[in-house]
């Protein structure tokens, strides 16, 4: 909802209020795309801060002598603690900002609350459909990179590397 509020344009709200003009879905596509892109960027940042599995694989791959000493293990666990602490502080500040922004937006723009809620519901529905496209593209690239046609050409490595980048989003 906050992302929708951030991309509400003052001119469109004024036009809706003064001329009672309804906007079509096609006119709202840029706002919905910007909302989706910013939400994905925030998701990537939060996933980077919250996912700690690579650190535990790092501990698991250490030789048993270094595990017994514990210096490297404690160092890795300290990094995990700092990362998770940063995650919780960042999300708490982010949620406070979201709460304040939505409250202020709805208090100031009382006449556009119905439009705001409708657009937020559309964005919410699109956020459920979006992963099908992202992971569908990932699966398609994986099939292409593993196919016999790609193995005959030299583009196989590039397609496979691109396939590794896409799940970030």
**Residue 44 maps to a domain:** yes
Q: Which of 105-109, 110-114, 164-168 has the lowest mean pLDDT?
A: 164-168
- Is residue 77 a contact partner of residue 67, using CB atoms and an 8 Å limit? no
Give 71-99 pLDDT, tens digit per residue: 788 888 888 899 889 889 989 998 999 89
**Residue 138 maps to a domain:** no
**Residue 69 maps to a domain:** yes
Q: Which of 44-53, 99-108, 140-149 has maximum average pLDDT? A: 99-108
**Residue 125 maps to a domain:** yes
Q: What is the pLDDT of residue 24?
A: 63
**Residue 80 maps to a domain:** yes
Look over the chain and give the mean of its residue pLDDT values, rounded to a whole number.
Answer: 77
Residue 44 confidence (pLDDT) above 70: yes
**Residue 81 maps to a domain:** yes
* Helical segments of 51-70, H only: 53-60, 64-69
Give 48-62 pLDDT, tens digit per residue: 888 888 888 887 887
Structural domains counted in the chain: 1
| Domain span at 19 | 2-130
Q: Which of 17-21, 99-103, 121-125 has maximum average pLDDT? A: 99-103
Residues near 165 by Cβ (< 8 Å), separated by ≥ 6? none
């Amino acid at each position: 909802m906050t992302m929708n509020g951030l991309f509400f344009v003052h001119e469109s709200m004024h036009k809706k209020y003064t001329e009672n003009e309804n906007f079509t879905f096609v006119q709202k596509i840029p706002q919905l795309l910007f909302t989706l892109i910013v939400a994905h960027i925030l998701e990537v940042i939060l996933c980077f801060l919250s996912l700690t599995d690579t650190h535990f694989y790092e501990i698991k791959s250490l030789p048993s002598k270094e595990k017994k000493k514990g210096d490297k293990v404690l160092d890795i666990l300290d990094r995990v603690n700092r990362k998770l602490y940063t995650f919780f502080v960042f999300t708490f500040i982010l949620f406070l900002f979201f709460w304040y922004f939505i409250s202020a937006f709805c208090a100031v723009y009382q006449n556009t609350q119905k439009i705001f809620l409708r657009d937020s519901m559309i964005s919410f529905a699109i956020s459920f459909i979006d992963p099908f496209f992202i992971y569908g593209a990932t699966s398609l690239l994986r099939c292409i990179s593993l196919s016999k046609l790609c193995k005959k050409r030299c583009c196989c490595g590039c397609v496979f590397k691109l396939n590794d980048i896409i799940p970030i989003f």
